[in-house]
Amino acid sequence: MVGSILPLALEDITLRRAGKVILGPLSWVLDGAGITVVMGPNGSGKTSFLRAMHGLERVNAGRIAWAAPLEAVRARQAFVFQTPILMRRSVVDCIAYPLRLDGVARKTARARAAEAAAKVGLGAMLEQPAQVLSGGEKQKLALARALVRGPELLFLDEPCANLDGRATREIEAILRDAREGGTRIVMSTHDHGQARRLADDILFLYNGRLVETGPKAVLLETPTTPEMTAFINGELLP
């Protein structure tokens, strides 16, 4: 067993797409425990930022340095996409899939998947095709699948967009559990309430730049930049 894959150091990373800079240059260190919430208006680069850390986007400049070899890094993190990607399988088989990849026997994998499904409230629909679930159920399924390997680091891209209060509450409870269990979480949202409820730290992106970052209490109460102040006050940013 290798030590922690964290800290993760981003050094002046820049993403250029279609001829323009969509993220960066940006430097940040991801370390410690808890939940970091990435905030910012639409198009500010939240998705790109999370995907770049997870290795789904190639950076055009800068460095991404992990504390462990890449193989361990890839195997010990998970990602929940803004729109869930579900396989054409039953709920239980969707959740069992990452375990099957690790070579866990079918029976064991399905038993563990059933447990994970029960934890997110999908215990009664194990054999349903994943594609017929409601939006909230799909998000929970994606979350259960992301957690089933017990990742050290979990990225979530707006996991509660389009969900009602109850589904949001359930997902937030699962995330708190995961945090208690020692999973380091980085998630994006533009729901201020969610940031207040869940965040330990907040990171604010605007136009692809990291504008402010720090502990929730400090940042939400006493923002220092005009962009963050306006965003928190609910003003519509240009």
Q: Is 122 in the site for ligand ATP (CB under 6 A)?
A: no
Q: Does 98 bind other proteins (CB under 8 A)?
A: yes
Closest CA to 144 of 213, 197, 133: 133
Total of residues contacting Mg ion (CB under 5 A): 2
In angstroms, the CA 163 to CA 131 distance is 17
User: For ligand ATP, which is the closer residue by CB, 77 or 189?
Assistant: 189
Q: Which of 44, 47, 77, 168 binds Mg ion (CB under 5 A)?
A: 47
> Taking a C-beta distance cutoff of 8 angstroms, is the pair 131, 103 a contact?
no
**By CB under 8 A, residue 112 contacts other proteins:** no
In whole angstroms, give the CA distance from residue 3 to residue 98: 22
Task: Count the site residues for other proteins by CB under 8 A.
Answer: 20
17 binds ligand ATP (CB under 6 A): yes
Buried b (16+ CB within 10 A) or exposed e, 146-179: bbbbebbbbbbbbbbeebeeebbebbbebbeebb
User: Given the structure tokens 């891209």, which residue do they identify?
Assistant: 157
Overall residue count recorded for the chain in this entry: 238
Residues 102, 111: Cα–Cα separation, whole Å: 15
Which residues, 6+ apart, have CB-to-CB distance to 88 below 8 Å? Answer: 129, 130, 131
45 binds, among ligand ATP, other proteins, Mg ion, none (CB under 5 to 8 A by kind): ligand ATP
Q: In the complex with other proteins, which residue's Cβ is closer, 131 or 162? A: 131
Nearest approach, Cβ of residue 157 and Mg ion (Å): 6
Q: Which is nearer to Mg ion, 161 or 230 (CB)?
A: 161
Q: Which is nearer to other proteins, 88 or 107 (CB)?
A: 88
Q: 10 Å Cβ neighbour count for 108?
A: 12
Binding partner of residue 40 among other proteins, ligand ATP, Mg ion, none, CB cut-off 5 to 8 Å per kind = ligand ATP
Which residues would be at the binding site for ligand ATP (CB under 6 A)? 17-18, 22, 40, 42-48, 190
Which residues would be at the binding site for other proteins (CB under 8 A)? 54-56, 74-75, 78-79, 81, 85, 87-90, 97-98, 101, 128-129, 131-132
Which residues would be at the binding site for Mg ion (CB under 5 A)? 46-47
